[in-house]
Amino acid sequence: MFLSAISYLVQEEFTPIITSNSEMLSSLVEDGLPTMKGYIASSPKDSATVHLMSDRGDPILTSWQCGLGRTVAFNSDGENKWTGNYAKWDKYPMFWKNIIEWTITDMNNGDNSVKILESGQKNLIQYETKQYDKNTKVTAVCTGEKGETKEVLLEAMGPGTYIGKIQLPDIGVYSINVTKKQNGKIVSTENTAMAVQYSNEYRVGDTKNVLKKWVNEVDGIFVKQPHEVQKTKIESVASNLALSKYLLVLSLLFFMAEIVCKRLAFERKKKENVNSKKSKDSIEKLDTDFLLKRKKQR
């Protein structure tokens, strides 16, 4: 990029104009782009492709091929002074992700591939290869913008699949170099990159519209005054409950209770019959003794 002779610092609000159908933007601009509040004016190289330009015709996002590599120039700022509306844009992380993925070389190299996946607060580095054995060792080295490095060992999670977890504390762009070793010797390397953004709870956004969208999705309303609570009609909620299993258990309990009751009644009746027979025998014996005694007296 070459700076023009005119004032190169432009501070005014404008909406970037889309000038190409690049893969960096094609999936992001269906609903248009947010406004910017400034940029650094310049002129594009002859071999460059301008993807976004200002209303004055100055390039905002430009890319070009440089030998075997690719280069991208973004003429606004990355500290949200001019791009504050982009910090609120839900597609802003994808915007930078697409730029980074476009600038790096193809990650698929023959039988090997590298993917970066998000898993909560950590990132997963997934490496796949068709040539592996029990002596295969895969490591990844992440390098930050300030040159700091962090190494992680990728563990075998399946046939030819190696995964490692890494937590990067600072936001920014990290380059990742994945190395595969066989018996201690390097047999292949893969390079990729990833951008670490603020987590969702720390991102600046229009929370009012988010809340309004959520309230509409659940058919709710905003209550501004206490008396408005009584205006809403509370609908009764009914649901079906299967009683068959409860009735089956209850029937079983009644059946067992009936057996117990009948058993107790039978034992009581049997005992009463025994007592009745004993009483009858006693009475008959008393009568016999009495008659014998009377007969002797006569």
Identity of residue 218: V
Identity of residue 114: V
Best CA proximity match to 122, nearest among 170, 167, 169, 173: 167
Best CA proximity match to 97, nearest among 79, 129, 72: 72
Quote the CA–CA distance of 74 and 253 in Å, as a whole number. Answer: 79
Q: Residue 165 is encoded by which pair of tokens?
A: 């977890």
Terminal C-alpha separation, the chain: 156
Specify whether the backbone of 92 is left (phi greater than 0), alpha (psi in -120 to 50) or beta.
alpha
Q: Are strands 9-10 and 39-40 parallel, antiparallel or unpaired?
A: antiparallel
Eight-class DSSP state of 201: G
Report mean pLDDT in 10-residue bins for the chain, 298 residues: 63 91 83 91 87 92 76 88 89 86 63 78 85 90 84 91 84 84 85 72 61 80 77 70 85 87 73 63 60 60
The contacts of residue 29 (CB under 8 Å, 6+ apart) are: 18
What does the pLDDT read at residue 60?
93
Identity of residue 215: V
Do 273 and 265 touch, CB atoms closer than 8 A? no
Quote the CA–CA distance of 195 and 177 in Å, as a whole number. Answer: 15
Best CA proximity match to 175, nearest among 140, 142, 127, 139: 142
Q: What is the pTM of this model?
A: 0.43
Q: What is the maximal distance between C-alpha atoms in the chain?
A: 164
